[in-house]
A and B are shown apart, each in its own frame.
Chain A
Amino acid sequence: MRRLFRNPPLVWSLLLALVLLVAMALPSVVDFGDYATVQKVRAPLAPGEDGFILGSDLAGRNLLPRVLVGMRLTLLVGLGVLLLRAVLALPLGLLAGWRGGWLARVVSATAAGASAVPTLIVVALVLRIFSSVLTLSRPVQYLIYAAALVLVGLPRLADQIANLAGSVKNMPHVEAALSLGATQWRIITRHLFPVIRGDLLAALAAELALVLVAMGHMAIFDASAVIGGVTMVQLEYGRHANVELVPELGAMMGLSKGLIRYYWWPAVVPAVALGLIIACFQLLADGLRRWWLRRA
């Protein structure tokens, strides 16, 4: 416990995680009424108006429960993307780190190449071009969105894991196992992986924060609307806006950003919620790194 309190980022991240978990559980416990049906409104309600604590969105729906439910969905999508990235990067990185040679060079070159061009921006641009030329069906849109998020950070994560594994492979216990005739699989799973799992956990927490940032960036390029579908609403002074059907923080933020000078809350409140989740995982990664460093 003393060690925990000497690690402020870990303490702050755990406290923030607790607050976020309680907030995400609220819509299942408290009755917020109907927050899914699109209402006909002249203008969204400001925070505190008519009993709406965070105001209403551009379609007149209660923003508080939508943001809380949106946090769940965004986190779920982020975790799914992270899982896919990890499933692909972990074996590749471990093998590249252990074997070295051409595989390690390919992984390292791909990571360097991916970091030498603004990959996410290229992906967002390609998505826009395709959607301007072709009418893509919903499953294809989902697939492109998920593939873009998974592939963008994959080479970097694989390279990071390869570097971690490479730093361990010359340790005496690995050499001893090798001289005792242990198989490659056994060395990787029993001798390499346990040594790097602490650093790996910290790297995965940081990676989740990066996935969520990438989701936020995709939302700025109007690409996250594929998650929940869109409908158009008419507002005062002839203004009209697209609103999301299923609450997802990126879509809520991205679709409302155009009207921020008139109604700031429908864009800023989801952005703050997404920022808090990102901050929580960044702090967690920092805290875990310190935790394992001190233990080592």
Chain B
Amino acid sequence: MGDMKNPSSNDFIGSRKGLLISPELCIACRGCQTACKEWNNLPAERTKNRGSHENPPDLSQNLYNKIRFVEVAGNKGFEWLFISQRCMHCGDAGCLSVCPAPGAITRNELGAVVFNKEKCTACKLCRAACPFDIPRFDEDGRISKCHLCQDRTENGLLPACAKGCPTGAIRYGDRVDLMERATKAGYKTLYGSTDLAGMGAMYAFKELPEYYGFDSSPSIPASVALWKSILKPLVVIGLGASVVAAAAHYVTSGPKVNEKNKVNEKTEEEGDK
């Protein structure tokens, strides 16, 4: 397969698969949630009634894909929107770039951002770096998130969520084909088509992203960029500088010697002469 590490390469763009999610087609049956749990062998969670049909309340180590309920009072009156919340499989993935453990988070040949728990160090940097606050962690602190059903898609099958969706609100296929399909269908916004070098989970919106509770221009958090680009190199430079300064002081001033010893040394030197 081609260059899947470089989001701007033709190999990456051409071979990349993805999801097209259409909130207006979703009926909140949560068949996708159930199918995901079923396929990934994720146990059910005990939750409390919070006065909402949205359940469970948040993504977790046992919930990779959640239907988020959004109530909007827009131009068309009250709307109840149902939106799949999950890993967006960003082309420029913050989790992937910040992860310090080789092989813990990688991109597979279909473009999905996948993980290997065995190599995860439980540092949680991936969550800090995620523009969408997606990664969650198991009891050991190791990463847990949607991997776009890596074991299914790599064998030519649909992801469980797309397979289980009865209305076509979640579709899987070639990213380019999905984008064409959404454009032809007349959707106003194709969220994720270009942001963060293109996401593997794209949303076909009839309104602006904010209407659905999305950030219109998602980006990797500045604090993570500060750590990765400035603090990490500064640590190395600062350590080197202080070691050099100490060595320079030793060379120029030498160790502190008691006055008595100094006198003795001086006497010995004079004796040698």
User: Do these two chains really belong together in a complex?
Assistant: no
Where the two chains meet, the residues of B that have a C-beta atom closer than 8 Å to any C-beta of A are none
A contact residues vs B (CB 8 Å cutoff): none
